[in-house]
Amino acid sequence: MKNNLRMCPRCQQITSIMPISDIYFSLLENKITDEKLKKLSSQQKKDLFKFLNPPSFNRRPIWNILPPDILFGTLILLLVFSILYGYFESRISLLNGTIPLGLVLIFYGAIRKKLQNTFNKKTKDQQEIAAALSLKADEWSDSCYCFTDQVIFHPKNEKIFTLSEFFARMHPEDAV
């Protein structure tokens, strides 16, 4: 078992450690089989669960994900339909509809470049965030907790974090 190769960089123990993903999921599913976890008080388990919360994606609103052209195209389609509807149902002159439509198109043409740039920048930022997040997710799944020292460490780089430090590292947006 590969877990046996890991040991706590602080107390040099193997038996006092456990991968944090194992802790998190056994607490999540309330299937606690490990003796070290069983010994904890319910408050300690609660705290541990809270601090070991894995990093998660921030949900983007849907209008932030859709390219501006698609959003705008949808708007234009709706406008065209309502103009045609007005024409066929109430005999409203097509001209009444096409003038605002033309104005909207001209307006969009003027701001399209700017919207496109903003959208591209946002998309790029999001990709960078996603890449950073995937690194974090890897770190989360590789990290172990030492019950003796109450610290989290990464078996490869041996960096040591307290629970709150680790939480802040995984959730910089929630850290105070």
The residues in 6-45 that bind Zn ion, with binding defined as CB under 5 A, are 8, 10-11
> Considering the complex, what minimum distance in angstroms separates the CB of residue 5 from Zn ion?
15
CB of 117 to Zn ion, least distance (A): 51
Q: Give the binding range for Zn ion (CB under 5 A) out of 27-35, 68-76, 121-129, 143-151.
A: 143-151
Residue 144 interacting with Zn ion (CB under 5 A)? no
Nearer to Zn ion, 22 or 149 (CB): 149
Closest to 89 in 3D by CA, of 77, 81, 100: 81
Residue span binding Zn ion (CB under 5 A) among the ranges 26-34, 51-59, 84-92, 138-146: 138-146
Of 24-32, 40-48, 77-85, 141-149, the segment contacting Zn ion by CB under 5 A is 141-149
Q: How far is the CB of 133 from Zn ion (least distance, A)?
A: 28
CB of 142 to Zn ion, least distance (A): 17
Nearer to Zn ion, 145 or 167 (CB): 145
- How far apart CA 113 and CA 141 sit, in angstroms, is 42
- By the 10 Å C-beta count (0-12 exposed, 13-18 middle, 19+ buried), 136 is classed as middle
At 152, list the tokens. 């989290």
CB burial of 64-92 (b: ≥16 within 10 Å; e: otherwise) equals: eeeebeeebeeeeeebeeebeeeeeeeee
The binder of Zn ion chosen from 27, 52, 146, 170 (CB under 5 A): 146
CA torsion sign for 18, 22, 26, 28 is positive
Query: For residue 105, what are the β-bridge partners?
Result: none
Burial class (CB in 10 A: 0-12, 13-18, 19+), 51: buried
Q: Indicate which single residue of 36, 149, 163, 169 sits in contact with Zn ion (rule: CB under 5 A).
A: 149
Residues that bind Zn ion (CB under 5 A): 8, 10-11, 146, 148-149
